[in-house]
Amino acid sequence: MKRRISLAGVLLAALLVHGCSKGSNEKDTQGSASSSGNKKIMESSSISSSSISSQNSNAAAAATLHSLELSIPVSELSENNETTITLQGIYSDGKKKQLSENITWQISDTNVLEVKGMKLIAKIEGSTTLRAEVNGKLSPPITITVYKVIHGHRLPPEPDPKINNSTLLGIDSNNNGVRDDVERWIYMTYNHPIERGLFMQSARAYQKVIVDPGRAHETTKYINDSVSCELFWKYKETNHPITKYRDIEGEISQIQFNTINRYIAYKKYNAEFNGEVFGVPPASKDKCEFNENGIFKELY
């Protein structure tokens, strides 16, 4: 028996099939759109992160040398000695970096010192300035003094003759009572410590008496002490180069009284005694102002 299918039933079935198909397509479309949206967000996030990283990298690369900082452990060196130089670059981002390459050194007097690598080498006594240059940037100058040492004694710098001889007492930069040029002459002339001690004491005594020749009766004690010490080494000790007939005063007076004003001052000192006669002071080691190594005692 054949079943009769009505037209209304066919139409209803067709509508149901079409509706299911459309719903499925809409879901697929929405899912695809959602996936595409997520992908775009991830790509956008990746681009943003890459952009920030690039900006940071560019900022770091853009840091430029702003200034230089030069330092050395000491500002004074003896001849033929050396020390280490430290040079830091300060950059625009505030960071510091130690530099050791591509440095140009500016030395005002290359006779005094030289730089090898990051070593500063003292050559001869004098004073000079040192600066570093990197990429057109200059460090502030540092003043360096190189001094001479003889027999373990640091010599005062050679004074300017014009300035030194313009006054009665001249220059005594280390304040030991002996004029700098006289002290240098003594240490460069005499090798034995007793010789140096005797001449240094004599030089100090002569400085004291010419300051005020009118006080000769007070200041003559310094001359007497010097003579007492000299007599001790001449007559009481034999292990030294001071002979009995050696004229220490004659040796030193030529440099001690090397200007007319100094010579006149010493003559005035002697004139204060007006022909008085004095006995020879006794020989005494206690009157020496130096030890057996020629080391000078403190100024009194």
CA 257 to chain centre: 37
Residue 299 covered by a domain: no
Question: Does 294 reside within a domain?
Answer: no
Please say whether the dihedral angle defined by the alpha carbons of residues 226, 230, 232 and 233, taken in this order, is positive or negative.
Answer: positive
C-alpha span between 180 and 158 (Å, rounded): 7
Q: How many domains does the chain have?
A: 3
- Helix (H) / strand (E) element for 144: namely strand 142-147
Does one domain contain both 94 and 215?
Answer: no
What's the pLDDT band for 222 if we cut at 50, 70, 90? very high
Q: Are residues 24 and 140 in the same domain?
A: no
The model's pLDDT over 72-98, given as tens digits with 9 standing for 90+, comes to: 999 999 999 999 999 999 999 999 999
Averaged pLDDT, 41-50: 44
Residue type for position 299: L
Q: Is 294 left (phi over 0), alpha (psi -120 to 50) or beta?
A: left
**Does residue 46 fall inside a structural domain?**
yes
Question: 3 lies in a domain?
Answer: no
Q: Which amino acid is at 166?
A: S
CATH number of the domain to which 80 belongs? 2.60.40.1080
The whole domain housing 219 covers 153-287
Distance CA 98, CA 96 (A): 7
Please state which of the ranges 98-102, 117-121, 126-130, 289-293 shows the lowest mean pLDDT: 289-293
Q: Helix crossing, 216-231 with 260-271: angle to 10°?
A: 100
Total-model pTM: 0.73
